Structure 1
Amino acid sequence: MKRFALAFAAASMFALPALAGPQYVDETGFAVSGYDVVAYRGLAQVSVGQSQPEGVKGRADLTAEYNGSTFAFSTEANRDAFVANPAFYAPQYDGHCAYGVSKGGKVPGNPNLWRIVDDKLYLNITDVVVGFWEEDIPGNLNLAQGNWPGIEGKDASTSTIPKFTSQAPIKN
């Protein structure tokens, strides 16, 4: 019985979204640098080793609050979908780099370096890091899930994303 309880607890840990600490917010003042997290679901995801399409910028007048931060959206339909199920759409690890979390750190996630794995959105910090992440996505996810409980409550990163010029969401 004890083994079953431990196995159930371990399996449950992987089913929960990796949210709970401070969301990464850059100088735009928006989560995910103002990119529409719902729009990722409609983008064509490419094979490992290829560059993903760029994310879709949100609009400053279409927002929703979640996890202590403001998220921007490109359409009202996307905002409504997010409001109905924010944990499904929000990036894992509060928008921090998934590979960084696998290494025990909390660094920014770049909204243009993304991948959806097992129906969850993950961001990474640089194209070089994406290469390391993609060498062993399952292994890196396992490490990240193990590290996250120890770092999730720490302060969110205030670093600027390297090689990324964040701009405020589109104003309409």
Structure 2
Amino acid sequence: MSERYTRPREDEGERLDRQWNELLQELRLAQTGTQILFAFLLSIAFQQRFQDADAFTHTVFAVTLVTTALAMGLFLAPVSFHRIVFQQKVRDRMIPIADKLAAAGLVFLVAAIAGGLLLAIDVVLSRTVALIVDGVVLICFLLLWYVLPAWVKRNND
């Protein structure tokens, strides 16, 4: 029999503060990685070797750049949201919206990571191997980021 952690009783304001702080910590980590990936991608476009690449590489690059920008926008949206509604006493509505924005950002981040990986591996290995490796890594991400938490949640209820 597993013991469940029981949190000390919190009032509504304390619960909302804790949830907001937890979300901000998660967003800090996600934002940093996404911004580094975005900067890396921007630098690629101006390299001569990239200019000479084929249409497949350019398409993967464009999709990856856009998904990275969308992930970054979704991760930063809660900050903008908070600034606009600051001191409006809407934290109870803001947190669920910010949570959905962060979750959507993670979906785009998975796509961006897969695209960046495909771009890099396609340079050093054959395209077929690059697609296979990218697919395996993508499946690993999906299992770790979505399937495992869903399984734990289902078995914890």
Question: What TM-score comes out, normalization by structure 2 length?
Answer: 0.28
Q: More helix by proportion, 1 or 2?
A: 2
Structure ranking higher on relative contact order (CA contacts 8 Å, 6+ apart): 1
Structure number with higher strand proportion: 1
In the superposition, the TM-score normalised over structure 1's length comes to: 0.26
